[in-house]
Amino acid sequence: MRQIWIAKAGAPEVLAVKEASDPQPAPGEMRIRVEAAGVNFADVMGRMGAYPDLPPIPVVPGYEVSGRVDAVGDGVDRSWIGRDVFALTRFGGYSDVVCTPEKQVFVRPADMSAEQGAAIPVNYFTAWQLIAVMGGLKSGETVLIHSAGGGVGIAAIQIAKYIGAHVIGTASATKHAELRALGVDHLIDYRTEDFEKRAREITEGRGVELILDAVGGSSFKKGYRLLAPTGRLGMFGVSSLATGKTRSLGAMMSMLAGTPWLQFNPLALLNANKGVFGVNLGHMWGEVDRLRGWGEELLALWSAGAVKPRIAKVFSFDDAPEAHHFIQDRKNIGKVLLKP
């Protein structure tokens, strides 16, 4: 098999393709011949050496794949063999063959392509946890989605519009036309506009009921101020750490300095009638049964035509460094994938 390794922490060029023997599924696992693998910002942070959950480098990153089952381990029904599936992987997803536990594998609908399947697990499960599970978004409420053009952003837009919410998105101006076509009600150019000020204008001073923020630092502080009574701030990343292509002590210090360490104290939350919560799908491996439930709900939305991943670009394994550059240069509208 072929795998993409993080050979050492650094710029995208540290990604290297290597060959290894095909793995054999352990009891309770199935083996998937991968047709597409998802690229996520956690992979970028891991490559930079700024993601604490990454196993020791050198390592094969990757949280999600789509393909066809070609072998199963003891205890797994052999009827899985030959099925088209998508799956969550606990690292190792940048491979053309992966073994993963049965509970982390989902049958791919006949009308879902391999590329679309690889775009579902991380982005849509994260968006579902942020919006439906912990964010409690309701019809008529307003949600502010940062990085609206990214994979999670587009997943969140589709789920929020299905619920019947009003959507404000932040993105560079070049992405506004496509995001407006996806149903975003108001767009803010984060490069030229202050999102807090502009969102207050849009909501006529009330603020918003839910914010999805993977930027971190001072963005958390401004978002908390922007919340309407009963509003919730959902934090799911700190992309402000990745101001360049390699790890930066300056970016880390700036993010830490801007983080509102004191504002989120119990008395402040109580008196303001606001909520703050965090989401990290990579820490949900002990809740796989719950994840399966989310997957079934999302597949129902797929069948209803409410969710459909937008694929920004597909790169070959040999072009994996370009895939990481593409994301960090903020060129993508939707999901970036790798194809063996």
**pLDDT digit string (tens) for 176-193?**
999 999 999 999 999 999
- pLDDT of 20: 95
- pLDDT of 255: 86
Neighbours of 192 (CB within 10 A): 9
H helices of 168-287, in order, are 176-181, 195-202, 218-226, 249-258, 266-272
Tens-digit pLDDT profile for residues 103-140: 999 999 999 999 999 999 999 999 999 999 999 999 99
- pLDDT of 262: 86
Q: Are 310 and 4 in contact (CB under 8 A)?
A: no
Strand partners, 99: 31
Which residues in the chain come in under a pLDDT of 50? none
Strand partners, 101: 29
Q: State both tokens at 198.
A: 């502009």
- pLDDT of 129: 98
What DSSP line would sit under 278-335, residue for residue? E--GGG-GGGHHHHHHHHHHHHHHHHTT---PPEEEEEEGGGHHHHHHHHHTT--SSE
- pLDDT of 261: 87
- pLDDT of 48: 95
pTM for the model: 0.95
